[in-house]
Amino acid sequence: MSYNIHQCEYLPKSRVSIFSSDGRESVVWLLCITHEANEEELERNHKLECIGDIVWQTQVEIQCCPYCGERLVSDLKKMNASYHHYSDG
């Protein structure tokens, strides 16, 4: 499976990424926001083993980049955006 990665000058340098995979009938772009563990969270949560472990992550289906406005899909359509939230805490 191959991935496409959207990069723009307005995208935050860390914790936020925009990507799509070619594994479906149509390409779906996802905005992924990740919160990684810091030292304080390691002390509070015994499930986390080291700084940088994922505490939570949310992925939301998008059609345009929310930072630069670039259209990521060729035909915009009304949609019920799917999302996924993972939390280790």
Written as one string, the DSSP assignment of 23-49 is: -SSS-EEEEEEEEE--HHHHHH-TT--
* Predicted local confidence at residue 80, as pLDDT: 78
* Predicted local confidence at residue 15, as pLDDT: 93
* Predicted local confidence at residue 16, as pLDDT: 96
Output the tens digit of pLDDT for each of the chain's 89 residues.
678 999 999 999 899 999 997 766 778 899 999 999 999 988 888 888 899 888 899 999 999 999 999 999 888 788 777 888 888 75
Cα–Cα distance measured from residue 39 to residue 15, given in angstroms and rounded to the nearest whole number: 17
Tokens 């015994």: give the residue: 46
